[in-house]
Amino acid sequence: MIPPGFVHDLLARVDIVEVVGRSVDLKKAGVNHKGLCPFHAEKSPSFTVSPTRQTYHCFGCGAHGNAVGFLMEHVGLGFIDAVRDLAQQVGMSVPEDDASPAEREEAQARKKRQATLSEVLARAADSYRRHLRASPRAIDYLKGRGLSGEIAARFGLGYAPEGWRSLASVFPEYDDPLLEESGLVIAQGDADDSAARKRYDRFRDRIMFPIRSVRGEIIGFGGRVIDHGEPKYLNSPETPIFSKGRELYGLHEARTALRERGYALVVEGYMDVVALAQVGFGNAVATLGTACTADHLIKLFRFTDSVVFSFDGDAAGRRAAARALEASLPHATDTRTVRFLFLPAEHDPDSYVREHGAAAFEEQVAGAVPLSKQLLEQARDGTTLDTPEGRARFVANAKPLWALLPAGVLRRQVLAEIAAAASMPLDELAAEWRLPRASAPPASVTRPAPAWTPPRGRAPRPRSVMRQPHDRVVWLLLLESAWWDLLGAADRDLLCAQPGWHGEAFRFVDRNLAEHGPESWAVLRERVAEQDWGAAALALVDTEDPSIEPLLDDLRSSIGQIRRAAESREALRLLGRL
């Protein structure tokens, strides 16, 4: 957890004009600076940077924030990485409250080694590019796939020659352990006898696709065979700087196009990404031979609120779509859209655009299946809805998928769709799936009269079971953790200073948001359950009426009650001292 006071001091030292100016061409305009907005396509500048307020604001798309926010939104960094990046620029050390001196030293060594690995990979990438320019065979292959020299240069494509030790000309110390650790070289033999180990290049006679982090550093490679051979695609192994389950090929290159087109197009191969960029779909990214993960979705939703998955229409594509659906459901809030595009079985995006053109592919994207429909299709798979048994199986299949959706209007809408497909009354299905409620009071206990009576003809609004503002705020911030960033520093400090388990919960929300970003309750629930105070928090969520939606105004109102109570206690304390 980075102390809020440190972030405040950091922002006071940072010059936001300098930070933004590294990515945007800014010109002085009175007391402010103006430029073309990096978050959407525009021809006349509506993007303003204020050195006095240390903020940026776009009057076209509404983008707004400080220097930390700019690095998070434009570069795609997480909160902690953005703070550390800015702190390094101004010579400040980020406090590590919970780290021992040994842990800090280890973290510094790890960071230095990661930078060294990136440098090694960058040298290899330069070599692969030179080999591509000198290889007519490799050039002809790329031309045959419809790629231009311009697009090859944009993605830094290269060629690994056929020799077993071609990298020895780039790295004279071919036995350097860094070459093996970075995944460029394979070593076989006795690990204890370095001299006797056989070493050779991992990538040979392949078109090379550099894999970049969001910040643009080369962290790995993908290599494709030119003729025939197995495997067709070969990826770098897992290394200290490369994890296939967290990285997306082409995300660095796609950042601007993601905002211009308004959605991310997730495909399955390197060549799909490059071929689509060639015809104007610069918003395409690819998973690296793995199923889509929550980490992938979190990264994409930093840049756009809309994701389209593209799959082949065969059985393998359907299985991949099922995994992508399950990864997407916890992140499908009311303000985000996820869709599924299924191409004809004989096509992938690369072959489709080459045969039918960009306009036809655009039509395919427009007809992509919404997440809600895909959920129903997946639940219906292998069942029939014309018998009670088939409808019961459909409902059983749909329940675990529906449960992954975060609370919101979409969740209620999908519940209604499931009920309609199963030929069940919505109230009956809602009762069947309702979360456990608090037990009813004993019959001998007299219930208090209702505080109000709804006007005749109007259905009563669901009432919250919570009475204390502390409980209410915990409930709201667990269901909508992103709202923590909407609070002012004073409100966050107030909540973190609360006594008992409520204060622990608020400090957890602050720390978790900094480390993992906003998460749905479906994702957050398991982590909350591990906390000492988790049982109390889970009881709040599970006993609340599920038809009541979290409201931001309710959050601010409840915090106001907590603040007024604190001020009253302080006033009484001061009066007692007079």
305 and 356 together in one domain: yes
The per-residue pLDDT for range 164-207, each reduced to its tens digit, is: 999 999 999 999 999 999 999 999 877 666 666 899 999 999 99
Inside any domain, residue 452:
no
Per-residue DSSP letters for 528-566? HHTSTTHHHHHHHHHHS-TTPPP-HHHHHHHHHHHHHHH
Inside any domain, residue 240:
no
Least confident of 25-39, 249-263, 399-413, 527-541: 527-541
Inside any domain, residue 216:
yes
143 and 33 together in one domain: no
pLDDT of residue 361: 95
61: CATH: 3.90.580.10
**Is 293 or 459 the better-scoring residue by pLDDT?**
293
Domain ends where: 235, 264, 295? 235
Neighbours of 402 (CB within 10 A): 21
Distance from CA of residue 103 to its chain's centroid?
27
127 and 226 together in one domain: yes
pLDDT of residue 439: 36
563 and 517 together in one domain: yes
Convert 245-273 into a string of H (helix), E (strand) and C (coil): CCCCECHHHHHHHHHHHCCEEEECCHHHH
383: CATH: 1.20.50
Inside any domain, residue 543:
yes
pLDDT of residue 121: 97
Tokens of residue 382, six digits: 């292998």
**Is 557 or 436 the better-scoring residue by pLDDT?**
557
Do residues 87 and 226 touch, judged by C-beta distance below 8 A? Answer: no
Positions of E strands within 283-415: 284-286, 306-312, 337-343, 369-370
Inside any domain, residue 461:
no
pLDDT band at 461 (very low <50, low <70, confident <90, very high): very low
Inside any domain, residue 181:
yes
pLDDT of residue 14: 87
85 and 106 together in one domain: no
Flag whether pLDDT at 100 surpasses 70.
Answer: no
Q: What is the pTM for the complete model shown?
A: 0.65
The per-residue pLDDT for range 22-67, each reduced to its tens digit, is: 889 999 888 789 999 888 777 889 899 988 678 888 887 777 888 9
The per-residue pLDDT for range 136-166, each reduced to its tens digit, is: 999 999 999 999 999 999 999 999 999 999 9
276 and 295 together in one domain: yes
Residue 313 makes CB contacts below 8 A (sequence gap 6+) with 342, 343, 344, 345
pLDDT of residue 335: 80
52 and 73 together in one domain: yes
Inside any domain, residue 490:
yes
The per-residue pLDDT for range 300-321, each reduced to its tens digit, is: 887 788 999 998 777 888 888 9
pLDDT of residue 448: 38
Inside any domain, residue 265:
yes
43 and 141 together in one domain: no
Amino acid at 54: Q
Least Cα distance to 220 among 190, 259, 247, 199 occurs for: 247
Range of the domain at 359: 251-367
230 and 106 together in one domain: yes
pLDDT band at 565 (very low <50, low <70, confident <90, very high): confident
The per-residue pLDDT for range 325-381, each reduced to its tens digit, is: 999 998 888 888 999 999 988 888 989 998 999 999 999 999 999 999 999 999 999
Task: State the total domains in the chain.
Answer: 5
Q: Give the burial class of 522: count Cβ atoms within 10 A of its Cβ; 0-12 exposed, 13-18 middle, 19 or more buried.
A: middle
